[in-house]
Amino acid sequence: MTISERESSVGFRPGVVRNVTQRELPQALSLARQNAEVNGFVISRIEAALNDHWRLGGALWGYVSSDYIHSLLFVGANIVPVSTDASARGAFAGELIRSGRRSSSILGQHEQVLDLWRGIETYWGKARDVRVSQPFLVMNSDPTCPADLRVRRVAASEVDLLFPACVDMFTEEVGVSPVANGGEHQYRRRIAEVIDSGMAFAIIEDDSVLFKAEVGFTTQSIAQLQGVWVNPNLRGQGLAVPALAATIKHIRASLAKTVTLYVNDFNIPARRTYEQLGFKQLETFATVLF
């Protein structure tokens, strides 16, 4: 039954925003899976919370009418909308205004993110950056181009080697250092967790990181690629495509068959790399950074 059909059958009333309960998580998961690739991050949080609610990693708000969840908003370090319309975004915006800003970004589908941001911008103040067009890419098969066989999982003992490359990549991508204002310990712990979970891949030679990439999250069927970085001394030499080809093969063999990512529209070299690998654009994302 579609939302519009349900509205007709139950006599639709304007929704209210409230926390999704543990009992309602299966319904929330079903809603998010209607667009499984795009909603992968929120799906990963719900799947984790189904076993242990403390693993949700934030709050999960629902726009609810007659006990039916029409839309979701994940509110944690990132704010991520799921299946929102104008009514839901208006209601979510009101709650975000009342609760105040604690998150570092809003990200997701272009229209949903930018409309939500318009609703709270006056109250939350100026964003550090608004990236309005980020192609969201999907790949469901192994790359056909040659793979660099030096790519492997990073060992737990190599966290100190990988850490500077992660800081460099984050600073280049986001525009601020993750270790600023005393954040080094927390960020190092996060990198160690990614390595321990088997979701960090790299080429490391003579204690030097030449290439690295991580998986940001996984669901039962999806893994999202992030943190792609090539040593500045090796850029422009054709390393990225074969290294990523190997990384994708590792991911599809052991983590999930569908690989997703999103990239800034102005990053032409990266977009060409992903095109060579066989990624196809499914959606357009936007990100508001604070």
- Mean pLDDT, the chain, integer: 94
Least confident among 27-36, 156-165, 169-178, 248-257: 169-178
Q: What percent of the chain has pLDDT over 90?
A: 89
For residue range 158-217, list pLDDT tens digits in order. Answer: 999 999 999 999 999 888 899 888 889 999 999 999 999 999 999 999 999 999 999 999
pLDDT of residue 80: 98
pLDDT of residue 33: 98
DSSP 147-208: --TT-EEPPGGGHHHHHHHHHHHHHHHHSS-TTGGGTHHHHHHHHHHHHHTT-EEEEEETTE
For residue range 94-134, list pLDDT tens digits in order. Answer: 999 999 999 999 999 999 999 999 999 999 999 999 999 99
Tokens for 38?
Answer: 């795009």
Burial class (CB in 10 A: 0-12, 13-18, 19+), 96: buried
Q: Identify the structural domains of the chain with CATH numbers, from first to last.
A: 3-126 (3.40.630), 152-284 (3.40.630.30)
How many residues appear in the chain?
290
pLDDT of residue 183: 84
d(Cα 199, Cα 212) in Å, to the nearest integer? Answer: 11
Taking each helix axis from N to C end, the angle separating 86-99 and 110-124, rounded to the nearest 10 degrees, works out to 30
Partners of 222 in the β-ladder: 258
pLDDT of residue 53: 86
Please give the helix or strand (H or E) that residue 113 lies within, else none: helix 110-124
Confidence check: pLDDT of 13 > 70: no
The three-class DSSP label of residue 83 is coil
d(Cα 254, Cα 242) in Å, to the nearest integer? Answer: 19
Please give the helix or strand (H or E) that residue 41 lies within, else none: helix 40-51
Burial class (CB in 10 A: 0-12, 13-18, 19+), 14: exposed
For residue range 134-172, list pLDDT tens digits in order. Answer: 999 999 999 999 999 999 999 999 999 999 999 999 999
Burial class (CB in 10 A: 0-12, 13-18, 19+), 215: buried
Which of 290, 289, 238, 285 has its CA nearest to residue 38? 285
For residue range 56-76, list pLDDT tens digits in order. Answer: 999 999 999 988 999 999 999
Mean pLDDT across the stretch 78-106? Answer: 96
pLDDT of residue 8: 40
Rg (CA), the chain: 20
d(Cα 193, Cα 199) in Å, to the nearest integer? Answer: 9
Confidence check: pLDDT of 44 > 70: yes
d(Cα 44, Cα 59) in Å, to the nearest integer? Answer: 14
Which of 64, 53, 61, 98 has its CA nearest to residue 79? 61
Confidence check: pLDDT of 10 > 60: no
CA distances in angstroms from 87 to 93, 162, 188, listed in the order given = 10, 44, 40
Are 222 and 251 within 8 A, CB to CB?
Answer: no
pLDDT of residue 130: 97
pTM, to two decimals: 0.90
